[in-house]
Amino acid sequence: MRTLDDRNAQESGGDPAWWEPLDEARARIAAYLTDGQGGGLTRPDVPELAERLWTRARGDDGGVPVEVAVIVAELYWRRHQASRGPENGSEDLGHAVSLYTMIAEVAGDAAVPEPLRPLVAQAAAQVAAGASRAPTDALLDEAIDRLEAAHSGDPAAHLDEAIALFRTLLDDERRLPQGDARRPAALSNLGMALRMRAERTEQGRLADVDESVRLTREALRQGDADDRAAFLGNLMTSLGTRYAWTGDDADLAEAVLVGEEAVYATSRDDPSWASHASNLSGLLRIRFDVRGTGPDLDEAVRLSAEAAGATPDHAPARSLRWSNLSNALAARFDLRRHPDDLDAAVDAGRRAVLAAASQPGLQAPVVANLGNLLLTRFEHWGETADLDEAIRRGHDSLAAGRIGAPAEAALRSNLGNAHRCRFDRARDPQDLVLALSMTRRAAAATGEHEPQRASRWSNHAMALMSAYEHSHDLEYLQEAIAAGRAAVEATGSDEIRGSKYLSNLAILLATRRLPGDLEEAMAAATSAVTMVPPDDPARAIRLFNLAGVLLDCAQRAEDGGASRRAAFERYQQAADLMTAATSVRLTAAQRAGEQAAEDGDWASALASYANAVALLERLVTRRISRRSREKQLAGHVQLAGDAAATALSFEAPDRAVVLLERGRGVLWSQMLDLGPNPEFAARHPELAGRLADVASALD
């Protein structure tokens, strides 16, 4: 950045974006001069106002109009007066004198208020005499202290103060001239502060992130080899933040390359190695989400595990490192469906929450992450305690505050989705109200180009669909379809994600059934299936939804036999997909059996029911509570009877007996609690432990 120059001194206009903060600053100064009571000048947001005005007025060359500099300087001077600070010393007065010293060089002493001219002359003389290094070091130390305070979770005001101090130093090249060894670190730290503010600001400032990337690049260019790894780490983080907001693949690719260099350039004994490794693991996990390459995910798990393990117990970053590991493990569970990965992800999430107990500014995001993991585990195994805890954790995160705009939108969307899941199970209207309000607010808060836009509109669409099914109010369905279309439009060229939202839209359209709806639903559901690879676990859901649309079409067609047969085949394909969740495969097999039985195709019905009964044995696990297992089985209590009845219709009584007993055996084994009762366990603890081990082995 450069100090004020002659070109900017002559400017009388500028980008209208800075007129609003300029008017606000003038109004506050005028109010103080009128009533002398301080008014808006004593509020803690004055540094943020000054920074906002300075940033918006900054030109491409880094300079600002003198008019702006004068108002910012007066803002600090009048704030010093309103706060009744000491005559010759306060932070506000120091900012004012520094700015007026630069202004005097451009506009002359007449631009400096008369009471400040002696202090400005003294400061100018110190600079001319080369005596500025000590004050510069003091300002640098102060700026770094403010940045560290903000990083540890203190209020965002510390960020504004840090940014203002770094700008004061960098805008005056007499303090930090080109070639000064301190300048690259100041550039990098200012970039870090801007990125942090962008993440925590209510509206999320993309301009801050863009400047953060530019500054950290410049720090890397100017810095020496000793600091290269640190600057690479800052650039990696800034690029990753910008990618999260814009979805620019070039930013993600560069962030990974820069991150790899940072990790390999840092000694494992250096505390910053864990930071670089953890951040790189997060980027690799994101790249896996985009490209679907397993090696990226395995490397992300390895790096995040080593980073978390290498972080001391009381280090401020410990909670985020464990949270990062939990995200990587959750992503690997999504890929390979190994239950241990999801359990380990929840365990890492709990460690993250425990580590964040003393850091109010970090509690919200890590608690939100744990809530999401618990919701995922509920969706796979049906443990109601996980769902309840996910909701409680989510509300705890909101109550903690200071989560930052992008993270808060994600939290509200996921929390709304959790309330919808609980409403679908327990039918508490309050859950539906919260699901609707939270998903709507999250979707509305998501920018047009944010990568998460599609998922948030989809979550809102599903909440609206639940509201329609509950109330039969057509307005909910109409709004759900509009939200579903918004989700599809937001996916762009990402076919894997687009498949999910197309499939959801197909169900919504098939439910409404206005002219043309079924045709559009059929096209969307078919495309959704073709977009996912044959072995993708999500393909089973897509096939299941396509089968439902085919059955809807069969009711309208003159000859619906072909559509019904196609629906049966899609149910079969979903049931046979080995990578899919057992609950999806079982439901698909059961639907196939029901449909074939309705059509009188007893051979196909019997085969499908036999498959469903076999899957029933794999549906529940002792990883979840007995109550949750009972709820999982509640939707399939008639399965064994239906299977046996089908076998009798096929004139296969022996098969009927086998299927009936097999199904009943699953139900009875779950009804009988193999764990010893408390009285027995108290009298014979060793034997009770052995029985518990046997029960676990039987699972």
Q: What is the 3-state secondary structure (H, E, C) of 22-88?
A: HHHHHHHHHHHHHHCCCHHHHCCCHHHHHHHHHHHHCCCCCCCCHHHHHHHHHHHHHHHHHCCCCCC
Q: Render pLDDT for 653-669 as a digit per residue (tens, 0 to 9).
A: 888 788 777 776 665 56
pLDDT at res. 122: 78
Distances (CA, A) of 513 to 56, 506, 549: 51, 11, 11
pLDDT at res. 44: 77
pLDDT at res. 225: 84
Compute the half-sphere exposure of residue 339: CA atoms within 13 Å on the CB side of its CA.
11
- For tokens 């640190």, what's the residue? 230
**3-state secondary structure (DSSP) of residue 566:** helix
Measured distance CA(193)–CA(160) in Å, rounded: 8
For residues 434-456, average pLDDT: 89
DSSP 114: G
Closest alpha carbon to 539 in 596, 592, 585: 585
Q: Give the CA radius of gyration of the chain.
A: 31
Q: What share of the chain is helix, strand, coil (3-state, %, to 5)?
A: 80, 0, 20
Enter the tokens of residue 12: 């009388």
- What angle, rounded to 10 degrees, do the helices at 228-246 and 206-222 form? 160
Enter the tokens of residue 446: 């998501």
Measured distance CA(623)–CA(630) in Å, rounded: 13
Pick left, alpha or beta for residue 669 (phi over 0 → left; psi -120 to 50 → alpha; otherwise beta): alpha
Distances (CA, A) of 149 to 157, 160, 357, 630: 10, 12, 17, 50
Q: Mean pLDDT for the chain?
A: 82
pLDDT at res. 2: 37
pLDDT at res. 11: 40
Confidence of residue 674 (pLDDT cuts 50, 70, 90): very low
Least reliable range by pLDDT among 31-40, 255-264, 622-631: 622-631
**Alpha helices, H only, 472-601:** 474-490, 495-512, 517-530, 539-556, 561-576, 582-598
Q: Render pLDDT for 26-81 as a digit per residue (tens, 0 to 9).
A: 888 888 887 776 667 888 778 878 877 877 777 766 677 888 888 888 888 888 88
DSSP 557: S
Residue 434 has pLDDT above 90, yes or no: yes
> Which is more confidently placed, 155 or 207?
207
- For tokens 């080593």, what's the residue? 306
463-472: Cβ within 8 A, 24+ apart: 463/416, 463/417, 463/419, 463/420, 463/432, 463/435, 463/436, 463/439, 464/436, 465/507, 465/508, 465/511, 466/420, 466/423, 466/424, 466/432, 466/435, 467/432, 467/436, 468/511, 470/423, 470/427, 470/429, 470/432
Residue 202 has pLDDT above 70, yes or no: no
pLDDT at res. 669: 60
Go through 64-81 and write b for each residue having 16 or more CB atoms within 10 A of its CB, e for each that does not: bbbbbbbbbbbbbbbbbb
Question: What proportion of the chain, given as a percentage, has pLDDT over 90?
Answer: 32
Measured distance CA(379)–CA(372) in Å, rounded: 11
Go through 378-394 and write b for each residue having 16 or more CB atoms within 10 A of its CB, e for each that does not: bbbbbbbebbebbbebb
- For tokens 């329609």, what's the residue? 468
Q: Render pLDDT for 324-366 as a digit per residue (tens, 0 to 9).
A: 899 899 888 877 778 889 999 999 999 998 888 776 666 777 8
Measured distance CA(466)–CA(433) in Å, rounded: 11
Residues whose CB is less than 8 angstroms from the CB of residue 113 and which lie 6 or more positions away in sequence, other chains included: 74, 77, 100
Q: What is the 3-state secondary structure (H, E, C) of 239-283?
A: HHHHHHHHCCHHHHHHHHHHHHHHHHCCCCCCHHHHHHHHHHHHH
DSSP 107: H
User: Quick one: how far is CA 591 from the chain centroid?
Assistant: 36
- What angle, rounded to 10 degrees, do the helices at 602-619 and 582-598 form? 160
Q: Are 3 and 175 in contact (CB under 8 A)?
A: no
Closest alpha carbon to 473 in 442, 511, 503: 511
Q: Are 405 and 203 in contact (CB under 8 A)?
A: yes
> Which is more confidently placed, 624 or 160?
160
Q: Are 132 and 32 in contact (CB under 8 A)?
A: no
Q: Render pLDDT for 499-524 as a digit per residue (tens, 0 to 9).
A: 999 999 999 999 998 889 999 999 99
Residues whose CB is less than 8 angstroms from the CB of residue 93 and which lie 6 or more positions away in sequence, other chains included: 76, 77, 80, 85, 119
- What angle, rounded to 10 degrees, do the helices at 206-222 and 183-200 form? 160
**3-state secondary structure (DSSP) of residue 419:** helix
Q: Which burial class, exposed, middle or buried, applies to 538 when counting CB atoms under 10 A from its CB (0-12, 13-18, 19+)?
A: buried
Q: Render pLDDT for 548-573 as a digit per residue (tens, 0 to 9).
A: 999 998 887 666 788 999 999 999 99
Confidence of residue 12 (pLDDT cuts 50, 70, 90): very low
- For tokens 């499908």, what's the residue? 608
pLDDT at res. 10: 37
Give pTM, 2 decimals.
0.59
Measured distance CA(431)–CA(466) in Å, rounded: 11
Confidence of residue 696 (pLDDT cuts 50, 70, 90): low
DSSP 112: S
pLDDT at res. 295: 86
pLDDT at res. 201: 67
